[in-house]
Chains A and B, each alone.
Chain A
């Protein structure tokens, strides 16, 4: 009995492996897509603001105004286009070629020299790019504040002033490279794609073509069937994961400070959880189009938006924060970012792993129940 079970599972695994190797779309999703994602996330997408395009309108050309203009032009954060009239900048703001404009009005110097008056500099940001707009405001205000302090210190003699010097330190990512955390987090998306989407499509196809029924009519039990599906895709996913980690570390120079064993363990648990999700979806949906749509909805998109790998969960409204509690990718992203950038924070990673395992087993239980009910 036992032996025949092993033999049947072996046969199923073999059948599945042959199917995997025969279909070019498997190669697409396990090699091409992850590589593409890594290149895009590693080289293309960046949240580091280095060249904010701003327009500078100098209605006042006095030395005072020019001093500030120069400090802007020489700043590495800005790419400044200068003009003497503001209407030439309006259109640039509308067509999006600048993110904001700074207007030094004609009465700037006069106001500055008048006692009790505050000379205004107008800063207009393009609110249709909300994130960039707040960066523009914060950076320009900060640059101007520094400029004023420097000016005051220069005017009042050098040094020995009671003033606070801030020493900001960004732990685990001193240069603030956003690709460090984006790349490590994006592995969660890759695994979700292989685990959930590929499996969902493959199993749904078997239901759609009726081959699943023929499999179920053989002596194979539904447990063996699930194992037979899980093993090959598990191996495929782990290979793809290893490939991605290697590229992330060796080609993109993302540090890896945790233990490889722990990473393998977390990844395995998360991959199993995704496989469970894929199996569950396909068992419920039975058609490829539907399975695809559902996987996008409950697998890919949550991994992308609700996992905290790009968008900060704490900033989301409460009801969405509550939803993220049930998203396994959230815990995986946390573990990945920690293992890559910090090291082995045992308490955090074991907690994450436990939650992922719990959610995953729910997926498997539902799948088993749904498949069992179908047999009679």
Chain B
């Protein structure tokens, strides 16, 4: 037992003794945390739009006024003079949308005919365009309803009353923070674990460890402790920043959160061990970690919902530890998730950990004999 402790002590010293490294372990995650929190948003606000109003009647003017009055657009409206300007306006990305009102718009409406309205979007940014088109059609829909009502033929007698649970004001950062806590804990834990073995191997000190009386199992335990320790510490630190400074509610059980985070970083350090047991140099280990990290983040449901993915990728996501932890993290932050659902998402992580650790031990055994 004392052997393991002295090994752990040595590993912790090796990981944190260099001042530059210590700095690089603490600072980047915090910067990333703040940057990501506010930058990684799929929200749409303040997008510039163009309006080409060729109609000289009252209806066209009224519609323009409604667009100008809308919260999403009001600060950023450009008035175009002719149809020729539309192409360059969109092409050079001066705006995401052009509302084009033709010259007989008012005439058609007053004559009781159907009037056409053209909306042109920049399809290069299809997500933004789609959201803006929803806003625009809401304005136009209301305009329609008012026209029909004033014609005395339509009474809106039913309505959807939307409410958002868990995040009533739909703040994007309430979603980002529970995700980032976990993503960044994963990144840091993986970097530390993968580089610790590869570095020793590159420098040749790993062989010295192997000829010591330590068992392979003990060496591996010593190697994963710093990563687990830092991952857990930084995860909880960011949880503190998120809840106390940025004001995201934490409604679940803190004990369950810590436990889940521990199981999660353990499973990640298992992955780290596995990668470093396959690689001969630091460079290979780090790039290997990267090859694991990138799809993990992209397919975990953080960037885009898993439900949008094709079946094959949905099945693939069962192998991604981050996926389970994201569900738990969001649940415990915002939804006061019950222990039952937490454990339901936790056991796959235990299985993944066991798989990776046994794989890594086998690989090391083979290398020694």
Q: Which of A94, A127, A156, A317 has the most CB of B within 10 A?
A: A127
Cβ–Cβ contact B140 & A25, under 8 A: no
Is B140 touching A166 in the complex (CB atoms < 8 A)?
A: yes
Q: Would you call B191 and A163 a contact (CB within 8 A)?
A: no
- Tell whether, in the assembled complex, residue A169 and residue B308 are in contact, meaning their CB atoms are under 8 Å apart: no
Of B109, B112, B130, which is in contact with the most chain A CB atoms at under 10 Å from its CB? B130
Q: Which chain A residues numbered 106 to 137 have a C-beta less than 8 Å away from chain B?
A: 108, 111-112, 117-134, 137
Contact B129 A170 (CB under 8 A): yes
* B39–A306 touching, CB < 8 Å: yes
Which residues does chain A contribute within 8 Å of B212, judged by CB atoms? none
CB neighbours (8 Å) of B116 from chain A are: 164-165, 167
Note all chain B residues with C-beta closer than 8 A to A243.
Answer: none
Known: A45-B304, A176-B129. A163 touches B124 (CB 8 A): no
In the assembled complex, the CB of A205 is this many whole angstroms from the nearest CB of chain B, namely 6
A82 to B117, CA, bound (A): 37
Contact A169 B121 (CB under 8 A): yes
Contacts of A48 in B (CB 8 A): 126, 308
- Establish whether residues B124 and A181, one from each chain, have CB atoms under 8 Å apart when the complex forms: yes
Q: Is A301 an interface residue (CB 8 A)?
A: yes
Q: How close is B309's CB to chain A, nearest CB, in angstroms?
A: 5
Please determine whether B298 and A40 come into contact, CB atoms closer than 8 angstroms: yes
Which one of A7-15, A145-153, A215-223 is at the B interface?
A: A145-153
Within the complex, the shortest CB–CB distance from A253 to chain B, in Å, comes to 15
**B124 and A123 contact, CB distance less than 8 A:** no
Expressed in whole angstroms, the minimum distance between the Cβ of B73 and any Cβ of chain A is 12
Stretch of B152-160, B220-228, B234-242 lying at the A interface: B152-160
Whole-angstrom distance between the Cβ of B184 and the nearest chain A Cβ:
11
Partner of A166, one of B42, B111, B137, B304: B137
Contacts of B303 in A (CB 8 A): 45, 310
Given contacts A47-B308, A94-B337, A130-B172, contact A338 B124 (CB under 8 A): yes
Q: Are A128 and B175 in contact (CB under 8 A)?
A: yes
Bound CA span A33–B290, Å: 9
Stretch binding the partner chain, chosen from A270-278, A340-348, A354-362: A340-348
Contact residues in B for A180 (Cβ distance below 8 Å)? 123-124, 126
Contact of B38 among A43, A166, A288, A320 (CB under 8 A): A320
- A337 and B124 contact, CB distance less than 8 A: yes
B174 to chain A: which residues have CB within 8 Å? 127-128, 130
Residue in chain A with minimal CB distance to B199: A289
A292 at the interface (CB under 8 A from B): yes
CB distance from B206 to the nearest CB of A (A): 16
Check A341 against B123 for contact (C-beta < 8 Å). Answer: yes
CB-CB under 8 A from A174, the residues of chain B are: 123
Compute how far the CA of A47 lies from the CA of B282 in the bound complex, rounded to whole angstroms.
Answer: 36
Is A49 on the interface with B (CB-CB < 8 A)? yes
> A167 and B148: CB pair below 8 A?
no
Chain B contributes a number of interface residues (CB within 8 A of A) equal to: 119
- Given the complex of chains A and B, what is the CA–CA distance between A138 and B47 in angstroms? 18
Selected contact of B114 from candidates A52, A133, A163, CB within 8 Å:
A163
Which residues in A have their C-beta under 8 angstroms from that of B334?
Answer: 127-128
Alpha-carbon separation in the docked complex, A120 to B32 (Å): 43
- Contact between B127 and A148, CB atoms less than 8 A apart: no
A348 to B133, CA, bound (A): 25
Complex formed: what's the CA distance from A48 to B130 in Å? Answer: 9
B304 touches A46 (CB 8 A): yes
User: Which residues from B are CB-within-8-Å of A173?
Assistant: 123-124, 126
Which B residues are in CB contact (< 8 Å) with A201? 283, 286-287
B90: chain A residues within 8 A (beta carbon): 171
Q: Contacts A25-B283, A33-B294, A314-B47: A128 and B335 contacting too (C-beta < 8 A)?
A: yes
Q: Please report the C-alpha to C-alpha distance between residue A221 and residue B341 in the assembled complex, in whole angstroms.
A: 63
- Chain B window 263-298, contacts with chain A (Cβ cutoff 8 Å), 1 for yes, 0 for no: 000000000000000010111101110110011001
Kindly identify which residue among B144, B162, B191, B338 contacts A149, using a CB–CB cutoff of 8 Å. Answer: B144
Does A371 touch B at the CB level, under 8 Å? no
Across-interface contacts of B153 in A (CB, < 8 A): 152, 156, 161
A281 nearest CB across to chain B (Å): 12
Chain A residue at minimal CB-CB distance from B305? A132
Complex CA–CA separation, A341 to B124 (angstroms): 7
B166 pairs with A126, CB closer than 8 A: yes
Q: How far is the CB of A172 from chain B (nearest CB, A)?
A: 4
Among the stretches B4-12, B20-28, B254-262, B352-360, the one at the interface with A is B20-28
Q: Is the CB of A312 within 8 A of B42?
A: yes
Residue of B nearest to A294 (CB): B24
Q: Is B17 an interface residue (CB 8 A)?
A: no
Q: List chain B residues, Cβ under 8 A from A161.
A: 112, 114, 148, 151, 153
Cβ-neighbour of A28 out of B158, B288, B307 (below 8 A): B288
State which of A41, A118, A138, A197 has its C-beta within 8 Å of the C-beta of B157.
A118
Q: List 10 A-B contacts (CB under 8 A).
A: A130-B43, A137-B162, A162-B113, A163-B114, A165-B115, A172-B122, A181-B124, A301-B35, A342-B124, A348-B93
Which A residues form the contact surface with B (CB < 8 A)?
A: 23-25, 28-29, 32-33, 36-37, 40-41, 43-53, 93-96, 99, 108, 111-112, 117-134, 137-142, 144-145, 148-149, 152, 156, 160-174, 176-178, 180-181, 197, 201-202, 205, 287-290, 292-294, 296-297, 301, 305-306, 310-312, 314-317, 320, 334, 337-338, 341-342, 345, 347-348
Q: Which 4 A-B pairs give the minimum distances between C-beta atoms?
A: A127-B167, A173-B123, A170-B123, A127-B164
Residues of B within 8 A of A (CB): 20-21, 24, 28, 31-32, 35-36, 38-48, 90-93, 96, 108-131, 133-134, 136-138, 140-141, 143-145, 147-148, 151, 153-154, 156-168, 170-172, 174-175, 178, 187, 191, 195, 199, 279, 281-284, 286-288, 290-291, 294-295, 298-299, 303-305, 307-310, 312-313, 327, 330-331, 333-335, 337-338, 341, 344
Extra pairs beyond A44-B310, A162-B151, A181-B126 (5, CB < 8 Å):
A40-B298, A124-B164, A152-B148, A173-B124, A201-B287
